[in-house]
Chain A
Amino acid sequence: DTAVSQTPKYLVTQMGNDKSIKCEQNLGHDTMYWYKQDSKKFLKIMFSYNNKELIINETVPNRFSPKSPDKAHLNLHINSLELGDSAVYFCASSQISSGNTIYFGEGSWLTVV
């Protein structure tokens, strides 16, 4: 009964590869997010979708492409992986209204070698 689930939890891949991280929420929320946590534990938003529409697109290389097939799913595809992409990627969801709590998944630890 995990609220926000993301797969895989751990991913080790070589530079230049393309990889995807999948996320699903069963909370009935209308908005989903991708956050990145770097090696210094700093958290920064990357993307957000509200009812399958992109509403936040921070300054992220265009090698990163989010896709939301429906409002319960938000996937992250990364092309031509670089060493600097190594990080923890968190999926999250909430209702869009101000002050609503954002619930996070367990994270996907990506290591590019």
Chain B
Amino acid sequence: AQSVAQPEDQVNVAEGNPLTVKCTYSVSGNPYLFWYVQYPNRGLQFLLKYITGDNLVKGSYGFEAEFNKSQTSFHLKKPSALVSDSALYFCAVRDSGATNKLIFGTGTLLAVQP
């Protein structure tokens, strides 16, 4: 069965510093991987996805993610964190089968201190 793991419940970073939110995956076949962000009392907003091609994927709000097949990882990164980036981040993988179902990780709370 497809799954993703987010090993950190919370990541703390100072404004202006680079940030990384970790995600590892376990899939059979080629992985389709996604990152979403949830601001307080809001819905999930799509950030970026990896389907195929370049291992470095660029997304919204200056975020990027690096697909690493050997380490089965898809970490989310940003060179310089903003206080407004503080939110809950979810990694997800498309489930196998004919449906386009997403399997979500447990989420990582990013706290950016001014």
Contacts and interface: CB of A to CB of B under 8 A. Distances in A.
Interface of A: 4, 31, 33, 40-45, 48, 50, 55-56, 90, 92, 94-107, 109
A102 B99 contact: no
A103 B94 CA distance: 14
B100 A96 contact: yes
Contacts of A4: 43
Given A42-B106, A99-B51, A106 B43 contact: yes
Given A45-B102, A107-B43, A101 B94 contact: no
A78 B51 CA distance: 36
A101 B48 CA distance: 9
B90 interface: yes
Contact of A45 (B42, B43, B101): B101
Contact of A102 (B51, B98, B102): B102
B90 A43 contact: yes
Contacts of A104: 36, 43-46
Contacts of B36: 104
A31 B100 contact: yes
B74 interface: no
A50 B94 CA distance: 16
Given A96-B100, A97-B100, 7 more contacts: A31-B100, A41-B88, A42-B107, A43-B44, A101-B34, A102-B34, A104-B46
B49 interface: yes
Contacts of A41: 38, 88, 106-107
7 contacts: A4-B43, A33-B101, A50-B99, A98-B100, A99-B94, A101-B46, A102-B46
A101 B104 CA distance: 14
A78 B36 CA distance: 27
A1 B104 CA distance: 27
A105 B88 contact: no
A107 B45 CA distance: 11
Given A41-B107, A90-B44, A107-B42, A102 B100 contact: yes
Contacts of B106: 40-42
B94 A56 contact: no
